[in-house]
Amino acid sequence: MKAHTKETQATMTPQKALQFLKEGNQRFQNNLKANRNLLEQVNDTSEGQFPFATILSCIDSRVSAELVFDQGLGDIFSVRIAGNFINEDILGSMEFACKLAGTKLIVVLGHTSCGAIKGACDDAKLGNLTGMLSKIKPAVEDTKEPKEQNLRNSKNSEFVDAVAEKNVAMAIENIRKMSPILKEMEDNNEIDVVGAMYDINSGGVRFFE
């Protein structure tokens, strides 16, 4: 499989980009990697890059977007931060990726058993981590069930994963609310913005559609 070129990127649509990622994750789950020469892709991308998607994911060592979607060099922009939340710097990176570098799809990728989500659920406090986890707290507060306080913590895996899904949904809301550039591109069908959850037990990605 060759690296993407200006020509192949130009033929890409948001729907086609999403399909590429779905097919890549299916290969990953089946342990069937696409046939690609990474050193050849180094040469092919040395004078330019033409990725088709931008993926915001967690720093979790088990959730490498390039691996779980079976993508090569020059295929995707990968933005990573614990808890996959939105801030101005990440939005700026996304605006560059879509408006200037031509990607057609933004994916906000949460995952099961997320440590950052667990920390927010437990109201953990530690140095700079305290301020970072405060960005995830709105998702904890907006997850209504269960109401029993003793079940709203990191020991309840169902609650943790429900908060992770809510956090993805809120990140997408914030992209649209905080970036007029990306909102306009989405409204014009130049890009799509979608959420997804990665299951650390199966390797599967479930897209919110």
Residue 147 has a pLDDT of 93
* Order of all β-strands in the sheet with 192-198: 76-80, 53-57, 105-111, 192-198, 205-208
Distance CA 46, CA 74 (A): 10
- Residue 203 to residue 205: CA distance in whole angstroms: 7
What pLDDT does 48 receive? 83
Predicted pLDDT at 175: 98
pLDDT score of 136: 97
Give the per-residue pLDDT at 9: 84
Q: What are 117's two structure tokens?
A: 């989500």
Residue ranges and CATH numbers for the domains of the chain are 6-208 (3.40.1050.10)
Q: Residue 7: what pLDDT?
A: 80
pLDDT along the chain (209 residues), means of 10: 81 95 97 86 84 97 96 94 97 97 97 97 95 96 94 97 98 98 98 98 95
Tokens at 133, concatenated: 């986890």
pLDDT score recorded for residue 1: 77
